[in-house]
Amino acid sequence: MSVRVSRYFPFATGGLQSLLQYRSMFVVTGVTAAAGAAVTVFLWRAVYADAPGGGTGPGGFTPASITTYLLVAQVLQVLHANRVDDEVAAEVYRGDVAVMLVRPVSYPLVRLFACLPVVAANAALVGVPALLLFSFLVPLTTPRPVDAALFAVSTTLSVLIAFCVNLLTGMTGFVTTNTWGVRMVKQSVVAFFAGQLVPIALMPGPLAAVAGALPFKGMVDSPLTLLLGRYDGMGGAVAVLAQQAGWAAGLTVLCAVLWRAALGRLEVLGG
């Protein structure tokens, strides 16, 4: 098993080396993320400004907890931007995926290992600085150690769910020559139903039920539910993690099945 896994390490290190060649990209991503977070955070802080005595407002959030929710949601969105959908679609379009198929490796696993440095770099170079910057500007909720640990586990599962969603999006390149529209629709649907733009706790009942039945909830709302301690005892926390793990496993199986089916449609032109 270790020998098989070691086959994919060069793809991870190669991805990191390629990433570090474009360090200015992190500056642009950081500025964009900070600007988006500032608009969202200060807009919602205005909504909760009239909460009596700084107490709980709509959805059971306090001004500090809604700020923490929205800010960390923006950071999670940065972690989920692993470029897998874009790169898979481009390789299918160019026919480069044919070269990968002759190698003794699994292409989906290659993509997984290649995206890990992207996630780690975005966390270290964009997510942490953004949190530190806003911690000086607005009051944030300090999580309990157990909630922080649960959040770390949940975030790992959310990254895996995001990878599967992006891989499935990129695989649409097998049936269409341009995935730009598909990726735009995916980003909008995920941002809304994951609870990134509006916390699911603030959605109307039927809409919240739809969001709760989709896997996107596990990308943003579930980690933040654990971070803010908005769960019913340890049983509630386990239920949140179990739902995330179930979606991660289900999407992994779906990716494997659709990948095998997609290979039957692959057409590579040129010489």
Quickly list DSSP for the chain.
Answer: -HHHHHTTHHHHHHHHHHHHTTTHHHHHHHHHHHHHHHHHHHHHHHHGGGSGGG---GGG--HHHHHHHHHHHHHHHHHH--SHHHHHHHHHHHTTHHHHHTSSS-HHHHHHHHHHHHHHHHIIIIIHHHHHHHHTTS--PPPPHHHHHHHHHHHHHHHHHHHHHHHHHHHGGGT-S--HHHHHHHHHHHHHHTTSSS-GGGS-HHHHHHHHHSGGGGGTHHHHHHHTT-SSHHHHHHHHHHHHHHHHHHHHHHHHHHHHHHHTT------
Percent of the chain with pLDDT over 90: 25
Residue 269 within any structural domain of the chain: no
Residue 66 within any structural domain of the chain: yes
Residue 271 within any structural domain of the chain: no
Residue 216 within any structural domain of the chain: yes
pLDDT band at 107, cuts 50/70/90? confident
Please give the model's pTM, rounded to 2 decimal places.
0.88
Q: Which domain holds residue 244?
A: 5-264
Percent of the chain with pLDDT over 70: 93
Residue 223 within any structural domain of the chain: yes
Asked if residue 270 has pLDDT above 60, the reply is no
Residue 270 within any structural domain of the chain: no
Domains identified in the chain, total number? 1
